[in-house]
A and B are shown apart, each in its own frame.
Chain A
Amino acid sequence: DTAVSQTPKYLVTQMGNDKSIKCEQNLGHDTMYWYKQDSKKFLKIMFSYNNKELIINETVPNRFSPKSPDKAHLNLHINSLELGDSAVYFCASSRRSGNTIYFGEGSWLTVV
């Protein structure tokens, strides 16, 4: 009964490929996020959805496309992967009017 779950946990792929990371939350939250953690462990928000509507879209290459089929799911699709996309991607969720954001276990993406 993991609160925020994301798959896959580890992903190794070649440059130029397209890949997706899936995320699901069972907390009943209405807002979901994608964060990227780089090799220096710095965390930066990429996207946020509230009730399936995009509310935060930071400066992210348009090769990254989030999709939220419903409030409980937020998937991240990445086209034409580059070496610099290697990072840990964290999914998270919260109530829109709430304050605590809960994170998943992360997806380690390595582009070779």
Chain B
Amino acid sequence: AQSVAQPEDQVNVAEGNPLTVKCTYSVSGNPYLFWYVQYPNRGLQFLLKYITGDNLVKGSYGFEAEFNKSQTSFHLKKPSALVSDSALYFCAVRDPPNDYKLSFGAGTTVTVRA
């Protein structure tokens, strides 16, 4: 069965500093990996995905993530965090063709202080 782990419940950074949100996964096949962001009282917004190809993927709002197969990781990064990046971030995995459902990690709350 597929699963995702986000080892940090919270990440706190100062505005302008680099932001990293960690994610590791477990699947039986080749993973489809995703990051979503949830702002308070809002739905989930898609940030970026890795399906195949270049291990470094770029997404919305200046975020990027690096797929590392040997470490089974897909960490989300932003070179310079903004206060407006404060939100709840979810890593998710699909394991086609074994399973098309999207399984989520527990989420990481990011707080960017001014």
Contact = CB atoms under 8 A, between A and B. Distances in A.
Interface residues of A, number: 23
A96 interface: yes
B46 A100 contact: yes
Given A56-B101, A101-B102, A43 B90 contact: yes
B32 A99 contact: yes
Q: Is the interface of A mostly helix, strand, loop or mixed?
A: strand
Interface string A29-55: 001010000001111110010000001
A48 B36 contact: no
Interface of B is mostly: strand
Contact of B102 (A42, A45, A55): A45
Interface stretch (A12-20, A59-67, A70-78, A103-111): A103-111
Size bin of chain B's contact surface: 20 to 34
B106 A42 contact: yes
Interface string B81-92: 000000010100
Contact of B100 (A44, A90, A96, A102): A96
A60 B49 CA distance: 29
Given A99-B32, A100-B34, A103-B36, A43 B43 contact: no
A35 to B, nearest CB: 8
15 contacts: A31-B100, A33-B102, A41-B88, A41-B106, A41-B107, A42-B106, A43-B107, A44-B104, A48-B101, A56-B101, A90-B43, A100-B34, A101-B102, A103-B45, A105-B42
